[in-house]
Amino acid sequence: MSGTSSATSQIKLTTGATIALVVINAFWGLSSASAKTALTFVGPFALTFFRFFPAGCLLLYLSRRELPQLVMKWQDTAKLLLIAGVGITLTYSIYFTGLQRTNSTDASLLFACEPILLSIAATAFLREKLSAVQWLGLLVGLYGIWVIAGRAGGNWLALLGLSCECCTAVLAKGLIVRYPPIALLGMEMVLGGLLSLPGALFQFNHHTHVVITALATVNIIYLSLICSALCYGIWYKLMQTTPLSQMSAFILVQPLLGPFYGHYLHGDVITAAVLEGAAFVCLGIVLSQIKTDMPVANPAGSTE
């Protein structure tokens, strides 16, 4: 992204925004355990489609009066397709594939890595300058990520999926300041769902025996309506006015609650190595946030 604004701003979160961020991350904390259950009935691409396509259709319907404002320049259209393809289709097909090969507790703890990954993405794409202490924080956090992932291939796949999502988050920030966020999110989810459909159909025909039971339906509805339509809708609205650095800190709610969900729903066990890695990640996040200001895009879109 070119022409990054050097202006930064300290924005104090309101009580309402703080509560909203805690609540949506609490809902997201259950998503790994819920997806783990759903994946016993459908494959990764199918779950990606069922999670995002219906949610996107619902958001487009709710924001139908704003749809005329989604007439985009070709550059923004290309960015939207990239965000949908990478931030949804690629992210979640990889993440769900990894989740099939690991437990929901490890996967939820990996969400503690997202603030670190977002800082790296912001440095790479938004050209942020970090202090020596902040770089130390990133290194400490990356070490913690390595400890959590360990030798489990599923963990590394899940981490790869989260990395894809973080890379597209900075692109979404630039679009949200120019277009209605809920309509934009709905279009992103519809496109991401459609792009996952060929993979879903392939799994239906060649690999995955799909059994849609009441349990699968409940978990898919939760992932689609609550985790996608509701939580992402609130997240996108807050992104209009709030730096990602402040919002990303609340992601830590997910790994705090995720292990409890995994333990009670799937009987997962938290190992000492995973706890050690989580401690390093948290320390890295604290260090990386010292004197860190994320650029706040102005209404004219100067971050582009």
- Look at residues 102, 100, 120, 121 and name the one whose alpha carbon lies nearest to residue 110: 102
Instruction: Please name the residues in contact with 11: beta carbons below 8 A apart, sequence gap of 6 or more.
Output: 241, 242, 243, 246, 296
CB-based contact 200:43 (threshold 8 Å): yes
Give the residues across from 8 on adjacent strands. 295
pTM over 0.85: no
pLDDT tens track, the chain, 304 positions:
333 333 334 456 678 888 898 899 889 988 888 998 998 888 899 999 999 999 999 999 999 998 888 888 888 999 999 999 998 999 899 888 888 887 676 666 666 666 666 666 666 665 656 677 777 877 777 777 667 666 556 677 777 777 777 767 777 777 888 889 999 999 999 999 999 999 988 877 766 556 778 888 999 999 999 999 999 999 988 887 776 666 777 777 777 777 677 767 766 666 777 677 778 777 776 776 665 444 433 333 333 3
Query: Where are the domains positioned within the chain?
Result: 15-288
- Look at residues 145, 156, 118, 182 and name the one whose alpha carbon lies nearest to residue 283: 145
Q: Residue type for 130, please?
A: L
CB-based contact 157:106 (threshold 8 Å): no
Write down the number of H helices and E strands in the chain.
15, 0
